[in-house]
Structures are given as structure tokens and as C-alpha cells.
Structure 1
Amino acid sequence: MEWKRLKAELLTAGGVRVEGAPIDRYTSSSSAGPGAGGGGSVFFSDGNHRVRLSLNQKSPLTLIHQGDGDARLCRGDEVIVGKLEAIGLHCPRQAYITVTGSCSFQCRYCPVPSLEGRRKAPGEVVAMIEAVVDQIDAISITSGVHSTCEEEEDYICTEILPQLQRFHLPIGVSIYPTEKTPSRLHALEVAEVKFNIETATEELFSLNCPDLNRSAIWKALTDSVPLFGRGHVFSNLIVGLGESDQEVCAGIDELTRAGVIPCLRPLNPVAGLTGAERPTPERLIRLATYHARALEREHLDPNLALTMCTTCTGCDLVPGRDL
């Protein structure tokens, strides 16, 4: 089976059941976004591509770890031979760190507000990176919102980012932006930014993110492109919130024309959307194909990404990497 079809099916399967040798050294846990608070995940690679698989002992898919990362992924009678990838922090080859593991907002698809996670101190973040610095090529910083977007931005910009320049690695940042966020992050020599508009339409945003301002996020994206460069600004676009394919394609067009690379993120039905249906593999492939054409039209190349999700590729079908 071709990789794009296999990955689309894996992304919609809801995880894998694990058997065989212990996988502790290959397991990652998420403290941000819709995967936060879950039972962990592993990154499976066929040698050229990777996919992030949540651990779910009720899954019909089985991952057999034979030891030393060698693994077999079983789908019925089909067996895919590959490797479990070593984790830097959260994902392979990156230190992807959530600074504040709680959030004052209540987006319907996100479990973070219910987790009441704590905020990491600057020294703790530095120590985490130091522990994996020989295993990573980039640092990525994300965060919930402890109280307000302004206060969170101040904490990231004054307490965290100045401590990270010592590592001489590209840094990506994904936080809820204010009007000043793009210029502040650029002044701190951040390489790439990711501000998430999340939904294909304003109406779906108002329904799912009632406390946030989608127009302000759009402005942060468009303000960022001249600073960081076309193709080094990113935004999640969740697929599966009730939007049509036509609305997703319109969102892709608007982002790519602005020089922003969309990350088409399949819905993970958690938090207020528990029980919602995941998008089908066929839909993911159809939209990813359109995504690839839109990126090519605007001369945007995901292969040039240095940090964050577009470099990792674990959770999305990424044009230029998966198809």
C-alpha cells in the first residue's frame, strides 16, 4: 500500500495496541493541544516517512516491538516493517516543549483546560533541552495561557526565549498571539512561528473557540510573513469540525496566498467533542492533494521548514513529505 493511504488510515484509526518488548524509551506524552493528557504515543517510521500513533489497547491495529526499535505494524493480514523512532522531547529530532500546561480558554476540541498543568520555570526548560541536545536539530516552544495572552507572551519572551540562544539551534514558537507577538519574536531571533486559526470558517471558530479572536490571529499571521519569510509561518486548520471540503480548500487558499503553510490537522475527538467522527482517510487524502497543489502554486515548500509540526510530520499528511 502506498504511504499516503497507509498514513491516512493510521491517522484516523485512533491509535495502536502495543505488544512485545518494552517501549518506554520510545514513548512520548503530550501536554498541549487535543492530544494532551492521553496515554502517550510512539513515532513509527518506514525509513522515509513517519507517523505518530497514540497508544490504545482497544485498537484493532497492533504494533509489535521486537526490541531496539525494530517493529512490525499489523493491519489485519498486512504487516508493515519499520522502526520506532527515538524521541527528543515530544517528537523525534526536536525539543518540543509546552511551557504552560494549563489554559484559561475553553476551546471545545482541547482537553488542556481540564488538566490544570503547571508552568515550567526557565531553568527547567533549559535543563530539559540540555538533556537531549545531542539528539535534536531544533527547539520548538508552545504554551497554554496561564492568565492572559499578554502575560503569557511576556513570560515566553522575557523569561524563556533569552535562555535558549545558547544552544545555537533554530527556534520555533507557537503561542496565542497579541498584536506585538510577531515583532517581539522576530527581535528575539526566533526562526519560525505558528499561530493557529484552527477552523475553516469564522462561524466554526466562534462555536469552538468562543473566547478567542480569529481576526487577531489572522493579522498575526499576515504580519509575520514579511518578518520570518514565506514558508516559515504556519497555522493549524482542523479537519472534522463540520466544515465542507470547499470551505477547507478556501482556507488553504487564503493561507497559502498569504505565504503561510497550513497544517491540516485531523480532528481528535476529545474534550467537548468526544464522540465526534474522525475524518475519513479518503477525505484526508483528497484535501492533502488539494493542499499540495496550493503550496506548489504559491511556491511554498514544507521541506524547508526548520521547526515544529511541519518538520515533524507525525500528525498530518504533509505535502512534499508524505505525498
Structure 2
Amino acid sequence: MDWLGLKAELLARGRVKVVGVLAKPYISSSTAGPGAGGRGSLFFSVDGQRVRLAVDPEADLTLVHEGMGRATIPFGGELVRGIIEPAPLHCPGQAYITLSEQCIFSCKYCAVPLRQGRVKSPDEVVGMVRSVLGEIDAISITSGVAGSVAEEEARAVEVVRLLVPFGLPIGVSIYPTPQTPRVLRAAGVAEVKFNLEAATPGLFAEMCPGQDWNLLWEVLEESVGLFGKNHVQSNVIVGLGESDEEMEAVVRRLCSIGVIPVLRPLAPGAGLAHFARPSAERLLRLHAVLKEALHEAGLDPAAARTMCAACAGCDLIPGRD
């Protein structure tokens, strides 16, 4: 099976049971987004291309760890051989750090508001990055909203200013205020990601109550002027109830203003635990649409240096998959 088809099938499954040699050193836990609070995840890589899978002892899919990171996944009558990539801070090659592990918003797909997570201090974040220098070539910062959106922006800016001396590209993904792109750029950020999350304004209002769809479009467009093409991303979740036509429309609109769409397969949980993950066939259809739209807009996710487009573990990313 070709990598693209295999990865789509693995993403459609989403979960893996790990057997064989103890793999705990390769399993990282998420403190943000739909996967927060789970049993952790791992990155399975074949010839330099990776997929991130949640660890679940009840999963139908099995990964056999043979030791020293070498692993196989029996799938489709074949034995897929690869490695489990180390993820020093949540992501291979990047320090991907969540500042506030709590949120005042209540997005239906997200487990963070259900938890009483920590808020990391700036010194703690600096120490975390320092501990993995030599293993990373980028830093990515994300966050919930612990108090207010403005306070979270100030927290991110303070952390970025302390991280700039490390000399690595820094990406930031937070819920924005109107001035967020400008203040992040002034602080030394290289790339940004402001997440639309849903393909239509109606779904956005339903899934992300209290947030501003129009504001996100405004800051995305402004960000392209500040950071340049290939350096602004936006996650859009696949599987919230949108049609393929609605997803294609938002993909093409994002590309038309210079933003790289990241099509994130829904991980059912929190208020959407009864939803289904999107099928491999649908993920492949939408990948083809995304690839064409990116090409027509002159965008290349392989040029991204931070965050999801640079990692490509959770999504099908043209130019990397």
C-alpha cells in the first residue's frame, strides 16, 4: 500500500494498541485539544513520513514494538515496518508546548474545559525548551484561555521574548485579539496558526460558542501580510457535520488569501464522543482538493517551519505526504 493510502487508513482508525517491548519512553501526553487527558500518543514513521496515533489498549489496530523504537503494524494482510519517533516535547523535532492547560471556552469537541489543567510559568517553558536543545529545530507554542483572551496573548508574548535567544523559529497558535498578529510579529514569532475549526459559520457557532468567526478571518488575512505565504496556518476539523462541498469552499477561501489549511480528522470526544471519525476515503478526497487548491494559490506546506504543517503527524499534508 502506498504511504498516502496507508496513512489515511491509519488516521481513520486513529487509535492503536501497543504490545511487545515497553514503549513508554516513546509515548507523549497531550494537554490541549481533543486528545487532552487521554492515554497519550505516539508517532509511527515509515521512511521519514509519520502518523500520530492515540494509544488505546482497546483499539483494533495493533503496533508491535520490537525494541529501540523499531515497530511493525500488521495491516491489510501486510506487515508495515517503521519506527516510533521520539517526541521530546509532544512532537518530533519540535518543542510543542501548551501554556495554559485550561480554557474559558467550551468547544464541543475539546476536552480541555473539562479538566483543571496547569498554567506554565515563563521560566518553566524556557527550562523545557533548554532541556531538549539539540533534539529540536523549531518551537511551537499553543494555549487554552485561562483567564481572558488578552491575558493569554500577553502570556504568549512574554514567553516568546524569552525564547527568541535560542535562535529557533517560533510558531504560535492562540485564540486572537485584533492586534495579536502584530504583537506576535514584533515579539519575534516566525509563523502563526489561528484555527477556524469548522467549515461553515453555522457549524462554528454551534461548536465554538462565544468565539468570533469574522475576527478569525480578519487576523488570518492580516497575518499573511505580516508573516508571508506558507507561514500562516489554520486548522479545520473534518467530521463536524460539514459536506465535502462546504469543506472545499473553506479550503479554497483560505488558500485564496494565502493561508495553509490543515484538515484535522475529528477525534471523537468531550461533547462529540458519539460522532464518528471521518473515513479514509473521505480524507483522501479532501486531500486531493487541498492539494489542488494549494497548487493554484502557489502555497507549499513543506515550506512551513513550525506547528502542524511542519509535523504532519495528525493530518494528510500535501508536500509532506
Q: Do these two structures clear the TM 0.5 threshold for a shared fold by scoring above it? A: yes
CA–CA distance in 2 between the matches of 1:113 and 1:173? 20
Percent identity over the alignment is 53
Q: Is the 8 A contact 1:7 1:51 kept in 2?
A: yes
User: Residue in 1 aligned with 2:164?
Assistant: 165
User: Residue in 1 aligned with 2:312?
Assistant: 313
Q: Which amino acid in 2 is paired with 1:199? A: A
SS of the equivalent of 1:113 reads helix
Q: Is the 8 A contact 1:186 1:228 kept in 2?
A: yes
SS of the equivalent of 2:132 reads helix
Q: Which amino acid in 2 is paired with 1:242? A: G
Q: Which moved more, 1:52-61 or 1:242-251?
A: 52-61
Q: Is the 8 A contact 1:61 1:76 kept in 2?
A: no
User: Residue in 1 aligned with 2:258?
Assistant: 259
- Which 4+ runs in 1 deviate beyond 4 A? none
CA–CA distance in 2 between the matches of 1:281 and 1:113? 29
SS of the equivalent of 2:133 reads helix
Deviation at 1:14, TM superposition (A): 3.0
Q: Is the 8 A contact 2:102 2:117 kept in 1?
A: yes
User: Residue in 2 aligned with 1:92?
Assistant: 92
Correspondence list, 1:287-306, <5 A: 287-306=286-305
1:133-176 C-alpha deviation (Å, 9 max, x unpaired): 1100000000000111111101111x311110121000000000
User: Residue in 2 aligned with 1:272?
Assistant: 271
1:297-319 C-alpha deviation (Å, 9 max, x unpaired): 01100110000000000000001
User: Residue in 1 aligned with 2:146?
Assistant: 146
Q: Is the 8 A contact 1:26 1:42 kept in 2?
A: yes
Deviation at 1:261, TM superposition (A): 0.1
Say if 2:28 is the partner of 1:28. Answer: yes
- Taking only aligned residues, the RMSD between alpha carbons, in angstroms, comes to 0.8
Q: Is the 8 A contact 2:268 2:274 kept in 1?
A: yes
Q: Which amino acid in 2 is paired with 1:277? A: A
User: Residue in 2 aligned with 1:52?
Assistant: 52
1:234-289 C-alpha deviation (Å, 9 max, x unpaired): 00011101100000000000000000000000011100000101111000000000
User: Residue in 2 aligned with 1:7?
Assistant: 7
SS of the equivalent of 1:16 reads strand
CA–CA distance in 2 between the matches of 1:140 and 1:14? 23
Q: Is the 8 A contact 2:161 2:188 kept in 1?
A: no
CA–CA distance in 2 between the matches of 1:19 and 1:12? 21
Number of matched pairs: 321
User: Residue in 1 aligned with 2:212?
Assistant: 213
Q: Is the 8 A contact 1:52 1:314 kept in 2?
A: yes
Say if 2:269 is the partner of 1:231. Answer: no
Structure 2 gaps of 5+ residues are: none
Q: Is the 8 A contact 2:21 2:67 kept in 1?
A: yes
Deviation at 1:76, TM superposition (A): 5.4
CA–CA distance in 2 between the matches of 1:6 and 1:38? 24
SS of the equivalent of 2:18 reads strand
CA–CA distance in 1 between the matches of 2:304 and 2:108? 29
SS of the equivalent of 2:134 reads helix
Q: Which amino acid in 1 is paired with 2:205? A: S
CA–CA distance in 2 between the matches of 1:293 and 1:76? 29
1:190-246 C-alpha deviation (Å, 9 max, x unpaired): 000000011110000000011101111111100100100011000001110110000
Q: Which amino acid in 1 is paired with 2:68? A: D
TM-score, normalisation: structure 2: 0.99
User: Residue in 1 aligned with 2:191?
Assistant: 192
